[in-house]
Amino acid sequence: MPLLRPLLSALALSGAFLAACASNVRREVINPPGIAPLVPAYSVAIRDGGQVFVSGMTGVTPGTQEIVDGGVGAQTRQTLENIRSALTSAGARMADVAECTVFLVDMADYAAMNAVYVAFFPTDPPARATLAVSALPRPAARVEIKCSAVLGRR
């Protein structure tokens, strides 16, 4: 029991140290050029400590606010390129992505979305959920993807 007290004290101090370090990490808003947020209460991405959270992205051509033509495959490709731009601006890579959530207007588009998605995550893909939704904020959008990354994961 006498050895247990110093160990518990050391653990408590290390926990306090980690909490103090975490409180000094600055939360940073990431809005890459050409992928401007559409509404005031929206950030393209947030870098918080060693994590990056990318908001739901669609297949908008950077700088235009227009959804790309070509169906869900083309939209998925542009969406993931937009996510890559947001991650790069935050100092992350696609390989750092730990999880994604995909929103599809029609689950019949799953195969076309997935065919493009796997090309962006060829090995050790992130955890993923895919949901069918009745609509997306951009009427022409067929797919929206959000993700989270852990910096230096690989």
Share of the chain above pLDDT 70, in %: 80
pLDDT in tens, 95-152: 999 999 999 999 999 999 999 999 999 999 999 999 999 999 888 999 999 999 999 8
Domain residue extents for the chain: 26-150
Question: What separation in angstroms does the CA of 75 have from each of 112, 144, 154?
Answer: 10, 9, 27
Contact predicate 90/77, CB 8 Å: no
User: What residues form DSSP beta bridges with 46?
Assistant: 29, 53
pLDDT in tens, 13-31: 444 444 444 445 689 999 8
pLDDT in tens, 68-85: 999 999 999 999 999 999
Q: What is the DSSP letter of 60?
A: E
The CATH architecture one would assign to domain 26-150 is 2-Layer Sandwich (3.30)
pTM: 0.81
